[in-house]
Amino acid sequence: MKLEGTHQRSIRRAADGRGACILDQRELPWKIVWVELRSMAEAERAIREMWTRGAPLIGATAAYGLAMAMAEDGSDAALDAAHATLLAARPTAVNLRWALDKVAEAVRPLPQAERAAAAFARADAICDEDVELNRAIGEHGLALFRTLHAKHPDRPLNILTHCNAGWLATVDYGTATAPIYLAHDAGIPVHVWVDETRPRNQGALLTAFELAGHGVPHTVIADNAGGHLMMQGQVDAVIVGTDRVTANGDVCNKIGTYLKALAARDNDVPFYVALPYTTFDAGTATGADVPIEERSPDEVTHVAGEGGSIRVTASGAANPAFDVTPARLVTGYLTERGLVDRV
């Protein structure tokens, strides 16, 4: 399957209906590789090893994983075991639990023989809904971007983003990127500063790939450059996605997001967080209660690029993958219902 330039669905049901096709994001932007997941174990591995990633997309992948588990064994014991295994694949994004719970709720009342078909149908519905949620976020973001651009109509609107919260991180459009695509399509001149997002470089590898495919002007910057650019008046707004927003509005997102929010506050640059309701965790009080994924130090000691990875330090490393931006640093939450100043 060829990948066209602009945004598209990042996950789809396999042709025979009994698996799911994902893009292997470890290969992007150098190679387009679609992988067919055929079992719950393969889905779990794809999430854990980040072949697929981004909060809504790991939820969608896990939903199909649970459906595949039901195709293997439709019992309550198998349902509970698969739910637990998939939930443990990555700890921070709440969309994973949300999607697994939705599939489990849909199939538990059914006879075992009907569970697999119902689970696949529920996973399809989760994907369809995610597309609509992101499109709606984009519509509200477009209105916001129009307002921001009207303040300096003589020059492009400069947006800074961190990590990848685009169509590769969702089922389509993206959360933080949906407004960018819609604004670009509407003729608003948008330029995006793309944080490279060490250690895995989701910005340099994935967000830049997405924006290039859609024809959106963009510039990749070192993660350390954002504060300087804000101080120079070269950033009109920061917009990021999130893996979990807690009841008090704290935002858990890719490591480094907090530093961007601090710099934005110090420079009077608005800091927006784009999220669908599936990323809101009303059951967790504050960001301090969110489990922060600690990934392999190899992701820090080595940098992956075209043709392989190279070691960039002779020392050891630590690799916390997410941080918490306190609610007080957030200018607004861009949701499918509109822009709100509290969740």
Ligand X SMILES: CSC[C@@H](O)[C@@H](O)C(=O)COP(=O)(O)O
User: Which positions are catalytic?
Assistant: 243
Q: How far apart are CA 69 and CA 125, in angstroms?
A: 18
Q: Which of these ranges, 60-68, 102-110, 224-232, 235-243, lies near ligand X under the rule CB under 6 A?
A: 235-243
Answer yes or no: are the C-beta atoms of 241 and 169 closer than 8 Å.
yes
Which residue lies nearer to ligand X by CB, 114 or 298? Answer: 298
State the nearest-atom distance from the C-beta of 39 to ligand X, in Å. Answer: 22
Find out whether 93 is annotated in a ligand binding site: no
Interaction of residue 93 with ligand X, rule CB under 6 A: yes
**Residues 84/323/55/68 CA torsion (nearest 10 deg):** -20
Find the angle CA(316)-CA(207)-CA(286) to the nearest 5 degrees: 65
- Partner residues linked to 303 by β-bridges: 310
Nearest residue to ligand X, scored by beta-carbon proximity: 241
Binder among 35, 169, 237, 300 for ligand X (CB under 6 A): 169
Q: How far apart are CA 256 and CA 325, in angstroms?
A: 9
Q: How far apart are CA 339 and CA 110, in angstroms?
A: 39
Which residue lies nearer to ligand X by CB, 202 or 301? Answer: 202
State the nearest-atom distance from the C-beta of 54 to ligand X, in Å. Answer: 4
State the nearest-atom distance from the C-beta of 295 to ligand X, in Å. Answer: 8
Interaction of residue 99 with ligand X, rule CB under 6 A: no
Binder among 42, 44, 46, 56 for ligand X (CB under 6 A): 56
Q: How far apart are CA 304 and CA 201, in angstroms?
A: 8
**Residues 311/315/319/325 CA torsion (nearest 10 deg):** -110
Residues that bind ligand X (CB under 6 A): 53-56, 93, 163, 165, 169-170, 175, 202, 241-243, 253-254, 321
Binding-site positions for substrate: 53-55, 90, 202, 253-254
